[in-house]
A and B are shown apart, each in its own frame.
Chain A
């Protein structure tokens, strides 16, 4: 047993428990946020150190081949640690105002959820995938209903019911895969499937059904159409920092699991071309539906909810490319990772600015952002820039991300899908720009300035710098994502 390889998770779990205990003692709850950030930083440092010690292409399995320690898992661990840090920084104001008496649980749950997601990214075994997914989902569900008002409770109820149903569906899919292969470890399953030498994708109906059910289960996590029904209500009802966390981390975790599971157990070309096609169709549906329904939204959280569905669609272009063409697969995988990172910084920057503004105005309606430029120039500028990144316009990160993912799509011969995707970006410009328009050109309701804490401003600054840096000098991160995904081809 090599506990060293498990340090990031141990630190995170210990920090979560420490926060709950500290909550009983300390009076100034801001300290809890500090402890959370410190725990995440330490966890991140361990991750970086482990990456440094890793040989290129090396992958070791720990705990009876249940968890992988490879660059892919480490990349996501870093990503989740970074996301959680930014979310905690953005939560300080919000938690102090809206949840004054339960900050300890709040931060602990954020950490536990991040822990679950870290495990999701590293598991190589069906049952531990399920367990870590539930850890992440249940913590998130508790976070969603934190406001304890009808909207928040309704959101949480919807989330837990739907995610329960989907968990059952996914378990059924896993059971079918297990039934066919008799294994739960991904590498072993892959070996059995390869030795089956199927003649058609449906030669083994149980396996095909299992694959479809798994797509449904993971599709829920990444908010792909038609498994997106929960998104708008939950995004609107949840506390805004939780919405931010949900929109980026949960999606990233879903994609991490999909990448690992589908490129290993369903990596046989016969199967991969069929799930690639499924993802291509889901991608087209998600972007079109997400963008079109986002157009008439008046609530900014709801709008960003639909936008996140559309973004999942762009990401699935990469998945489709991986499935359909193994040659395009490498850049598709690296592209998805880069897209997730740039989507994370852009969406977190947007939500952080929204948190600060809505804290003051008390309303999520786009109309109440009127004239924000005069009341909070820095926040408006950051929000504008992050929306530009979400549109996918240079010089923001979103452009390079789309360029990279779509180029994988073209390479896989999915030009039709890429054309749909770029046209969808045009549609999306309209609703993102509407927010910009209201902020910069409408008359403000009052002249009062919007206050924000140092923590929030610091988080916003980091996220905005991230958006710009990934857009102008993406070279370093692209190299990291390529290193991270090189491992997928080496899976045992």
Chain B
């Protein structure tokens, strides 16, 4: 069979190699990036149609012996759980190339990192061997580190290193967990371990469970490991934020379902109350912090903390419905927040301002952007007809009915309160940025001028004085151009399709979730 999955996963990195070899012609680099990511997306969509929705288990499997000494295999495959995330990542991967079309700084390097990033995320979602999974998991750090520190804004170097250290901290524990699992089972295959169950070993399984969970929790992020997220999301370049919020943090939620819950169903059930509590704290605390923000990107970033709380809630409610909801929420949040960051980036680019207090009335100057931002915002607060509503509804319905522990209903109701907060901060954000009185925007830059002060009679030396003046030039605000409309409308279309006909994804997701639920004994 044709290796669809390898095509999807490795096309972007092939593109980055081509770019690295081609030379620095800007347009050529961008076109190559676009062609490779688009082909990868097409292959991913092809997989979506060829995927057999009637059977459970892995499809499009590819397996080859990789390191015999470690019993490690090059093993790729997708099921209903990972396929939607693979398609989402391929979609975002192509979108960020379009979003970055106006990037002019070190373009070749930029696209090399961007495409490498896409391959590593796709690799995480499709690896069925723990070593391979971990390698993709770690490779992702390097491009992200460079993307934030070179092309970012604000305290970018600080944010980049903070992101790196936090994730490495999490993955250090994850590595210890993987090593313990490897020692316990002698295998690295996720599928075998989930199918065979893990016998009690010298190392307590609870310890292994938490070692692995810390890695996923930092990434998702789970309160109290979330503090890297606002910095990294805020200071990353627009494409970086889209990838981070859209695809990267989903690696955490995916890992929890694929590894933590599937491999340790009993332990997951035992510790579910703890994680549900953290989820509720995350939802409410994240929402409260969002309300306090004035920076448009930071606001979206904090809202992600809150929204990822729903994912955690759905995962550890441990039911068929709640897990399906959590997976759908990951896809939906990827689209909605990806779009929010894209549009926020566009707005910032157009008006040279990111402080909501200094914005206003932009709907009159950039109506299309305002409409798209509003749609994404409304989706994010869970308006019916958008993917956000259906994802949150399924998650809450599932967690309310869950019998994991007695306080599930109370926890769900508390989490639903997060939606009320969301309505507050999102509507307020839209209002502050796009409505109200029109404000003027200026671009400021400092001009230095060297003046000759006086003149020495001997002309040996001329005293000079450097004068700095801040020059403000008003900005002519323009609306989205054709390319920007293309990618914005693609996002909107997907959000609406999933919102109106969710079965397009839930059918697939359910085939992936059912085996997990059976392991849970449900």
- Interface membership of B35, Cβ < 8 A: no
Chain A residues whose C-beta falls within 8 Å of the C-beta of B134 in the assembled complex: 394
Binds B, one of A239-247, A300-308, A407-415: A407-415
Least CB distance from A461 to B in Å reads 16
- Interface membership of A404, Cβ < 8 A: yes
Least CB distance from B130 to A in Å reads 10
Interface of A is mostly: helix
| Contacts A410-B180, A430-B165, A437-B149 given; does A415 touch B175 at CB 8 Å | no
- Interface membership of A429, Cβ < 8 A: yes
| Contacts A400-B67, A411-B183 given; does A440 touch B150 at CB 8 Å | yes
Least CB distance from B25 to A in Å reads 17
- Interface membership of A479, Cβ < 8 A: yes
Please state if A429 and B142 are interface contacts (CB–CB under 8 Å). Answer: no
- Interface membership of B351, Cβ < 8 A: no
- Looking at the complex, which one of A393, A407, A482 makes contact with B183 (CB distance below 8 Å)? A407
| Contacts A407-B183, A433-B164 given; does A475 touch B67 at CB 8 Å | yes
Least CB distance from B96 to A in Å reads 21
Chain B residues whose C-beta falls within 8 Å of the C-beta of A409 in the assembled complex: 179
Please state if A399 and B135 are interface contacts (CB–CB under 8 Å). Answer: yes
- Interface membership of A403, Cβ < 8 A: yes
Chain A residues whose C-beta falls within 8 Å of the C-beta of B157 in the assembled complex: 437, 441
| Contacts A399-B135, A440-B146, A440-B149 given; does A415 touch B176 at CB 8 Å | yes
- Interface membership of A99, Cβ < 8 A: no
- Interface membership of B141, Cβ < 8 A: yes
Chain A residues whose C-beta falls within 8 Å of the C-beta of B149 in the assembled complex: 437, 440-441
- Interface membership of A69, Cβ < 8 A: no
Please state if B176 and A419 are interface contacts (CB–CB under 8 Å). Answer: yes
- Interface membership of B138, Cβ < 8 A: yes
| Complex CA distance for A7 and B269, rounded to whole angstroms | 65
Nearest CB in chain A to that of B175: its residue = A422
Interface size on A, residues (CB 8 A): 33
Scan B151-189; emit 1 where CB is below 8 A from any A CB, else 0.
000000100010011001100110110011011000000
Please state if A415 and B180 are interface contacts (CB–CB under 8 Å). Answer: yes
Please state if B173 and A334 are interface contacts (CB–CB under 8 Å). Answer: no
| Contacts A407-B183, A418-B176, A423-B172 given; does A429 touch B165 at CB 8 Å | yes
Chain B residues whose C-beta falls within 8 Å of the C-beta of A437 in the assembled complex: 149, 157, 161
| Contacts A394-B139, A422-B173, A423-B172 given; does A404 touch B70 at CB 8 Å | yes
| Complex CA distance for A31 and B142, rounded to whole angstroms | 41
Please state if B161 and A430 are interface contacts (CB–CB under 8 Å). Answer: yes
| Complex CA distance for A393 and B149, rounded to whole angstroms | 19
| Complex CA distance for A423 and B174, rounded to whole angstroms | 11
- Looking at the complex, which one of B66, B139, B175 makes contact with A403 (CB distance below 8 Å)? B175
Interface size on B, residues (CB 8 A): 33
Please state if A393 and B175 are interface contacts (CB–CB under 8 Å). Answer: no
Chain B residues whose C-beta falls within 8 Å of the C-beta of A411 in the assembled complex: 183
| Contacts A406-B179, A433-B161, A475-B66 given; does A399 touch B138 at CB 8 Å | yes
| Complex CA distance for A388 and B142, rounded to whole angstroms | 9
Chain B residues whose C-beta falls within 8 Å of the C-beta of A430 in the assembled complex: 161, 165
| Complex CA distance for A457 and B461, rounded to whole angstroms | 47
Scan B291-320; emit 1 where CB is below 8 A from any A CB, else 0.
000000000000000000000000000000
Nearest CB in chain B to that of A480: its residue = B69
Chain A residues whose C-beta falls within 8 Å of the C-beta of B68 in the assembled complex: 475, 478-479
| Complex CA distance for A410 and B175, rounded to whole angstroms | 11
- Interface membership of B287, Cβ < 8 A: no
Scan A437-451; emit 1 where CB is below 8 A from any B CB, else 0.
100110000000000
**Interface residue ranges of B39-96 to A (CB < 8 Å):** 66-70
A422-B175, A423-B169, A430-B165 provided; 6 other pairs, C-beta below 8 A? A393-B139, A394-B139, A395-B139, A419-B173, A422-B176, A479-B68
Residues in chain B within 8 A of chain A (CB atoms): 66-70, 131, 134-135, 138-139, 141-142, 145-146, 149-150, 157, 161, 164-165, 168-169, 172-173, 175-176, 179-180, 182-183, 202-203, 207
Question: Which 8 pairs, one residue from A and one from B, show the smallest C-beta to C-beta distance?
Answer: A478-B69, A422-B172, A394-B135, A410-B179, A426-B168, A410-B183, A475-B67, A411-B183
A-B contact pairs, 30 of them (CB 8 A): A393-B139, A393-B141, A393-B142, A394-B139, A395-B139, A399-B135, A399-B138, A404-B70, A407-B183, A410-B176, A410-B180, A410-B182, A410-B183, A413-B202, A422-B176, A425-B168, A426-B168, A426-B169, A426-B172, A429-B165, A433-B145, A433-B161, A440-B149, A441-B157, A474-B69, A475-B66, A475-B67, A475-B69, A478-B68, A479-B68
Residues in chain A within 8 A of chain B (CB atoms): 334, 388, 393-395, 399-400, 403-404, 406-407, 409-411, 413, 415, 418-419, 422-423, 425-426, 429-430, 433, 437, 440-441, 474-475, 478-479, 482
